[in-house]
Structure 1
Amino acid sequence: MNIQEKLTAALSAVKEKSPLVHHLTNYVTVNDCANITIAIGASPVMADELSEVEEMVSIASALVLNIGTLNSRTIESMLAAGKKAKSLGIPIILDPVGVGATTLRTKTAQRIIEEVQPTVIRGNMSEIKVLAGLDVKTKGVDSVASEENAEIITKKLATEWNCIIAITGKTDIVSNGKQVCRIDNGHRMLSDVSGTGCMSTSLIGSYCGANQDYLTATVAGIASMGLAGELAQQSLTPDEGIGTFKIHLLDKIYNLTPESLAKGCKVTCE
């Protein structure tokens, strides 16, 4: 199958299986992540209490770990849930939000990578460069790093950590260490709405929960968000802004079909 056919099958699987996606995510975007998961056809649960995360993840199809609003309690919950998911073969998606901004974030992300061994790591260029041990400045949770050599860095890290690495930016790059995919969907308005990165990670989790081809699942999640962003912007009237855009974004994900994803995606893999 070519990549368009694979994406068609991946979205069909999500809608057929409605996978349960367990999130330990940040409180800034938790509702957005829940809604985008529902919109694509999956089912979210947002349990982060240490005494129940292992039991909850045991019935899930995927686990999303998002370090956007860290505290000592949720760090331990993430590690417990991640180790349990790993032991059960449940895919784990790490979103290292703002890594490099503080020592706590960097050490926590490194600890999750070492102890949990995520299936997919999705971040912006600054975040991924920090994880790669490269010298880079950060601006809170926003990327200020050059996207030069993104393909080389992505492929190298994917090989070293035996996982899928995704760098989202103007052109999104995804690699499993052997194959590299480029995604050119998206609109600049996505960067004007808080949480679109987190929502992309939830979409990846939704696809991974229904598909065992995690490279395709990651590409599908990112391409779905990018395409929805394009369609949401196109539907705006001149007097509408980011508030309406966000609502339209959810609508476009909700109405996305396997056929419209395959037709609208701008993905190349080699």
Structure 2
Amino acid sequence: MMTIYKIRQQQPLIHCITNYVVANFTANGLLAIGASPVMADEVSEVEQMTSIASGLLINIGTLNQSKVPAMLAAGKAANKQGVPAVLDPVGVGATSYRQEVIQQLLQQVKFTLIRCNEGELATIAGVEWRAKGVDSGQGNIDTIAVAQEVAKKYDTIVVVTGAVDIVTDGTIVKKVAGGHERMTLVTGSGCLLSALCTAALTVEGEPVANLAELLQTYKQIAEDAERNTAYIGSFQIEILNGLEKYSKG
């Protein structure tokens, strides 16, 4: 049974502390698969919100000084309540502030999953890389080995997305090929994927296998969208359509 179908059956509440650029697309993507999104980042309510959620996503895309305490509070509440927590370290290599925040988060919160691109992985691992804002940038690393190292260090699952996605818990490694590069032209396609991964952690089954299956579905949705559309606006809509279609089995 497909992970995305199991999510629709479960209808999890996903608490997203995410960035304002992608909030709408992320919420609509979760709704398309039958999940319930909530976007709460006020520090005085995040603990309570996380405690009633099925999963927590922390995305640092548009950081500010009021969001960081909320992220830490929500992450600690998730750990206390046994709620899976996902970290999306958007553009962590771009500034020292982002790197400081990610270190705080990794030191104070136990994450079930880190979902990143190669450049973000390299920064977290302390490997040399030329970041390009929130894009992956350029560099040369043994992605699988570094992902395994980070997974073991933080006792977490690492998903690295790219032309070939990698999922590892430090021991098991799964590769997922396919997709289409036009996905990179849709703002928030990676951030939405992090939210979908958060939802995937709420369903029964082996987490690495569930995540790999979700990634394969997402790549299939990208291929379908490319085949069915001429322009990028329609491509974005087709991502949402594909999520609904595949989640219904």
Q: Given the two structures, how large is their TM-score scaled by the length of structure 1?
A: 0.88
* Matching residue within 226, 243, 248 for 2:233: 243
| Counterpart code for 1:162 | D
1:181-239: CA deviation from partner (whole Å, max 9, x where unpaired): 00102101001111111011011011112236322333233223211111111111xxx
The total of aligned residue pairs comes to 249
Cα distance in structure 1, aligned partners of 2:233 and 2:168: 33
Aligned to 1:216: 209
1:12 is aligned to: 5
Structure 1 residues 146 and 137: alpha-carbon distance in aligned structure 2, compared to 1, 3 A threshold: closer
Q: Could you tell me how far 1:79 is from its partner in structure 2?
A: 0.3
Residue number in structure 2 paired with 1:63: 56
Q: 1:251 to 1:243 in 2, by over 3 A?
A: same
> What CA distance in whole angstroms lies between the structure 1 residues aligned with 2:83 and 2:247?
26
Shift in CA distance, 212/113, structure 1 to aligned 2, threshold 3 Å? farther
* Offset of residue 100 of structure 1: 1.2
1:21–1:209 Cα contact (<8 Å) kept: no
Between the aligned partners of 1:219 and 1:93, the Cα distance in structure 2 is: 16
- Tell me which residue corresponds to 2:135: 142
Report 1:106-145 matches (<5 A): 106-145=99-138
Per-residue CA deviation, residues 227-268 of structure 1 (Å, 9 max, x unaligned), is 1111111111xxx31101001111011100475xxxxxxxxx
Identity over aligned pairs, percent: 37
Gaps spanning 5+ residues in structure 2: where? none
SS of 2:57 mapped into structure 1: strand
- For the residue of structure 1 that corresponds to 2:170, the secondary structure is coil
Matched AA of 1:227: Q
- The match for 1:4 is none
Task: State whether residues 125 and 147 of structure 1, in contact with CA within 8 Å, keep that contact through their aligned partners in structure 2.
Answer: no
Displacement over 4 Å in runs of 4+? none
Work out whether 1:233 is the aligned partner of 2:226.
Answer: yes
Whole-angstrom CA distance in 2 between matches of 1:224 and 1:147:
28
Matched letter for residue 42 of structure 2:
E
Aligned-partner Cα distance in 1 for 2:137–2:23: 25
Asked if the contact 1:18/1:210 (under 8 Å) is kept, the reply is no
Query: Once the 2 structures are TM-superposed, how far is the Cα of residue 144 of structure 1 from its aligned partner?
Result: 1.8
Where do 5+ consecutive residues of structure 1 fail to align?
A: 1-7, 260-270
Q: What is the distance in 2 between the residues matched to 1:217 and 1:258?
A: 16
**RMSD over aligned Cα, in angstroms?**
1.4
Deviation string 1:14-60 (CA, Å, 9 cap, x unpaired) is 11110000000000000000011111221100011111100011010
Change (3 A) 1:54 1:242: same
TM-score if structure 2 supplies the norm length?
A: 0.96
Match of 2:198 in 1: 205
User: Residue type matched to 1:202 in 2?
Assistant: A
CA contact (8 A) 1:158 1:177 kept: yes
Give the conservation status (yes or no) of the 8 Å contact 2:33–2:247.
Answer: no
Q: Is the 8 A contact 1:20 1:209 kept in 2?
A: no
